[in-house]
Structure 1
Amino acid sequence: MVKASRLRSILVLVLAVCMMAGIVAGCGSSATDTKSSDTAASTAAASSTAAADSSVSQEPVNLQFWTISLQPTFTDFFNKLIETYQNDHKNVTVKWTDLPYDAIQNKLITAAAGGNAPDVVNLNTEMALTLAGKGILVDLEKEATAEQKSVYIQTLFKSASLADATYAFPWYGAPEVMIYNKDLFAKAGLTSTPKTLDEMLSMAKQMKEKTGAYLYIPDEFRRILWLEGINILSDDKSKAAFNTPEALELLTKYQKAAKDGIIPKDNWGQWEKMLQQYNTGKLAMINSGAQSINRVKDEAPNIYKNTEVTEAMVGKAGIINNSVMNLVVTQLSKHHTEAIDFAAFITNDDNQLAFSKTVSIFPSTTKASQDPYFKSDTSTIEKKAISIVADELPKTADMTLAVTKQLDIYDALKKAQQSVTVHGGDPKKALDEAEKKVNDLLAADK
C-alpha cells in the first residue's frame, strides 16, 4: 500500500492538474421539485445497513462525507439519511460537507496536504479514474462485499474500473434526452427531430437558413467518435485506434458543415454554452440530462413553454451518454470498512429511488431503475423526460476511457477537432498528429 505521506503528495499534484480540466460536476443547486424530507427518513429507515453487522467496528468512528452542490436544495433530505445511518450505527458520526463545483478541488488539495482527506467523496467518473490511477482510492473489488457490489447496474459499476479493480459506487446518472424548441422546428418547416447525427447534419442547413438559429452544437469530438462506433483506443488500451478512414470521413464532414456555417466551429460539448444558446432561442435542440429542463424553466420561461422532449439522438453505435456521479473511498481514510458501508448505504436501492423522486436524475441500481415510478406520470415535460430515460437505460453508457491519461487524450482529440473546424487544417494531418500524441501518452504511462 502507498504510504500516507506519498498519497497526500500525489493527491495534491493530481488535483492541481485536474483543476484546469474542470471535470467535477454535481447535481447542481438549480435542481428543483424537492419533495418532503420525510420520504428520505422513512425510506432510509427501511434500507439502512444492519447495525449488528460484525464486519463494522464498534469503536468510535468519525467519517467525513463530501458532496458537490447538494445544499441547500437537498439539505433536509441528506440530513435525514445521515441521521438514520447514525441511529443504526451508534459508533459512527458522519460530518457532511457540501462544496460548490468550483471549490471542491481546492478544498481537496488543502485537506490532502494537511493529511485530513475526507473518507467518502462525491466525484464524477473521470475524476475518480484519474485519482484511482495514482493509487488514491480504495479498490472496491477487494474491500467491498459481494452483496454491496451486486445491487448496481453492472455496466455503470464497471465504468469506474481500471484493469480488474473498481474504485467507485455509482450514485446517480443523467442519461440524455433530446430537448427541443417546437417553435423553431415549425418555423424551419421541419416536421420531425433528427434521430441520428447524420440526420442532424442533413437538417442543420434548413434550420439555419429559415430561422437563423443553429439546429445543434456538436458534442466533444471524442464523444462523437464513441457515438459513431469508432474506438478511441485499442482493446488492450495500449495504442490509439481512432485514426481510421471512417474517422477521417467524419471529421471532413464536420469541417464542411462548420465552414458552411450550419454548425458552430467551436465550443463543442460546452454544456453551459449550449444551454445559454437554447435559452435565448439561438439553438433549436440539445442532447442533455433531464435535469436541464429545470434550468430552461427557471431561466427562460418563454422558451420552456415551447419546449418538448424525445429520445436522445444517437450515432451508428446506438448508445446514449449517461454521465454518472459516484461515491469513492480514499486510501487516506482510517476507516475503510465503515466508509464503504456508509457509501453503500447512501447509494442503495431505496435511497437512490427516494433521491430520484426529488430531482430529475436516474438511479444506478438495478432494482431502483426498474421501479414503476419512472413511467407512472408523464403529465409534465420533466416527468415525460424521466419516462423516456427509463426506456433508454439499456442503451446508455458512461463514456470514459478508463486509463489514467484520459484527460490528456481527450485534449489531444479536442485540439485535432479545433485545428480542422476552427483553423481550417487538414483533417488527415490532424488525426495523424493526434494519434502520435496519444501513443506517446500511453507509452509514457507504462
Structure 2
Amino acid sequence: MKTFLSTRLRAFQSAWLKALLSKPLKLITLIAPLLTAGAASAATQIQFWTMQLSPFHDDYVNGVIAEFERQNPDIRVKWVDVPWKEMEKKMLASVAAGTAPDVVNLNPQFSAKLAQYGALANPEHYLSEGEVAQYLPNIWTANRFRGETFAIPWYLSTAITIYNRELLQAAGAEVPRDYRGLLVAARRIKSELGKYAYFPAMDGSRPLEGLVAMGGELVAGDGSRVGFDNAIGSAYFNFYRDLYQQELVPRNVLTEGHHKAVELFQSGEVALITTGMQFLETIRINAPDLFRKVSVAPQLKADSSAYNVAVMNLAVPKRSAHKEAAFRFAHFVTNNENQMALARRIPLLPSTAGGYADGGYRDDQAERLGSEPSLFQRARQISAQQVLQGQVLVTPLPNYSKLRTSFVFNLQSAMVGRAPVDEALAETAQTWQLFLGNDHD
C-alpha cells in the first residue's frame, strides 16, 4: 500500500511539473505577484517627522518622498507632520518609549538637548566627506555639542531690519546699525513723536543673541566658563535698563514677545523691527499703506560680531533601527536641488553652499539695467549675505532652558530697578557657572 501511494504521488508531482513547464507564461503570471509582494514587504520602512509643514507644503514634501523612493526602491518613507508647539513633548515621549521617528525636524537648541543625553546619531559617521562638504561650513559647525555633530542643517533664516522710513524721517533719526545707534534713535523718536524705535522682544533666544550681537560671548574657553561677566555684559544690561528706565520702550516688553513687536510695528507705534524677510509679505497683505513706507537694512550688531542665523535641522535618533537609510533620506531632503526648490516656494534660505554659487541671491539683471532691486530682492540679498558671513550666535549649551530663564529673569530685574546692574549680572554669571558644570537639564 505504501509503495502504491508513493508511486501515485511521484506521478502526480511529475504531471504537475510538466504542466507548469509547458505553460511558462502562466507560471510567471502566478509567481510575479508573490515576488513583488515579497520585495515590498522586505523594503525598509522609515518614519519622517516635520514641524507644521502640512497642509501648505504637502505637494512639496510628498514629491520629495516620491522621488527618493523612486531612486531608492528598497526604502519606504512614512511622513508625520507634528504641530510646532507639540514637537518637543512628542519627541521626548517617543525617545523615552523607544518609538522615536527615524528622521525628525528639530531646532539646534532642542537637538542639543537630546544630544546632551546621547540620543542622536552623528551624521559624520554615515555621510562621506564630500557629502558633508556640500553644506556651508559655518552652518554645519552649529550642530556640534562637545565635539560631536548631532544633526544635518536644513533650511535657514536670518533676521533683517525692517523700518518705517516715514517715522524715522519725521523724527530726524537715522537707521541704526548697532545698539548704540538704536539708543540714539530711540531717544529721538520718543522726544519728537512720542513713539518707540524698537520693541526688544524677550521670548525665545533673542536676549542671548543680542548680547553676542553686541560683541560679547555667552561662554568662554572650552565652554565651561561664563563669558559675559565683564564690561560687555555690563554694557548690555545697562543698555536694557536705560531703554526701560527712560521709557524708550513700551512697558509690556517684560511680558510680551515677538508677536507684540509685529503688532506695534504694523500699527505704526514702533519704527523698526528685526525679523525674517518673510514678514514683508505679511505687511504687503495686511498693511499695504505701511508696505509703501518700509525699507530694509542689515540686522543690528557690533562691528566685531557676526550676523545671527537660525537653523532648522534633520536629526536621526541613535535608537533608530535604520540609521543608514535614515541618513540617506535626510541627505536627500537637504541636498541643494531640494533645498532650492523649497526656497523658491517660501522666503527661506538653503544651508548648502551650492545655493549661493549660481547668483540666485544677486539681482544682476537690475544692476545691468541700472534699475533698483525690489524690496523683496533687496531683503533676499541682505539675508543671503548675512548667512554667508554669519553663524548661529547661541550655540548649543547644556541646560539651555535653565540658562535662558536665569538670564532673562536677572536682565528684567535690572530693567525695572529691582537689582543694580552689577548685582543682576553677577547673579546671572553665578547661576550660569553652576549649570555649565551640570549635565542634567
Could you tell me the TM-score, scaled by structure 1's length? 0.82
Residue deviations 1:343-398 (CA, integer Å, cap 9, x gap): 00111111111111111111111111233121237754223210222233332111
Contact (CA 8 Å) 1:177, 1:289: kept in 2 or not? yes
Equivalent AA in structure 2 for residue 129 of structure 1: A
C-alpha distance in structure 2 between counterparts of 1:183 and 1:263, whole Å: 19
Q: How does 1:19-418 map to 2 (within 5 A)?
A: 59-190=42-173, 192-218=174-200, 220-264=206-250, 266-267=253-254, 270-376=257-363, 379-418=373-412
C-alpha distance in structure 2 between counterparts of 1:239 and 1:111, whole Å: 33
Instruction: Report the 3-state secondary structure (helix = DSSP H, G, I; strand = E; otherwise coil) of the residue aligned with 1:364.
Output: coil
Query: What is the CA distance between 1:113 and its match in structure 2?
Result: 4.7
Equivalent AA in structure 2 for residue 361 of structure 1: L
Equivalent AA in structure 2 for residue 292 of structure 1: F
C-alpha distance in structure 1 between counterparts of 2:185 and 2:278, whole Å: 26
C-alpha distance in structure 1 between counterparts of 2:212 and 2:263, whole Å: 25
Structure 2: state its 5+ residue gaps.
1-40, 367-371
Closer, same or farther in 2 for the Cα pair 1:218/1:254, shift >3 Å? same
Matching residue of 2:6: none
C-alpha distance in structure 1 between counterparts of 2:305 and 2:375, whole Å: 24
C-alpha distance in structure 2 between counterparts of 1:133 and 1:215, whole Å: 39
Identity of aligned residues (%): 25
Closer, same or farther in 2 for the Cα pair 1:173/1:416, shift >3 Å? same
Matched, 1:439 2:438: no
Instruction: Report the 3-state secondary structure (helix = DSSP H, G, I; strand = E; otherwise coil) of the residue aligned with 1:373.
Output: coil
Equivalent AA in structure 2 for residue 442 of structure 1: L
Contact (CA 8 Å) 2:215, 2:232: kept in 1 or not? no
Extract structure 1 runs of 4+ deviating beyond 6 A. Answer: none
Closer, same or farther in 2 for the Cα pair 1:324/1:196, shift >3 Å? same
Query: What is the CA distance between 1:445 and its match in structure 2?
Result: 2.6
- Aligned-residue CA RMSD (Å): 2.1
Number of equivalent positions:
388
Instruction: Report the 3-state secondary structure (helix = DSSP H, G, I; strand = E; otherwise coil) of the residue aligned with 2:229.
Output: coil
C-alpha distance in structure 1 between counterparts of 2:299 and 2:436, whole Å: 33
Equivalent AA in structure 2 for residue 120 of structure 1: V
Query: What is the CA distance between 1:209 and its match in structure 2?
Result: 2.5
Contact (CA 8 Å) 2:178, 2:214: kept in 1 or not? no
Contact (CA 8 Å) 2:104, 2:314: kept in 1 or not? yes
Could you tell me the TM-score, scaled by structure 2's length? 0.83
Equivalent AA in structure 1 for residue 271 of structure 2: A
Q: Which stretch shows the higher mean deviation, 338-347 or 403-412?
A: 403-412
C-alpha distance in structure 1 between counterparts of 2:358 and 2:274, whole Å: 24
Q: Which one has a bigger Cα radius of gyration?
A: 2
Structure 1: state its 5+ residue gaps.
1-57
Q: Which stretch shows the higher mean deviation, 100-109 or 351-360?
A: 100-109
Instruction: Report the 3-state secondary structure (helix = DSSP H, G, I; strand = E; otherwise coil) of the residue aligned with 1:357.
Output: helix
C-alpha distance in structure 2 between counterparts of 1:300 and 1:152, whole Å: 37
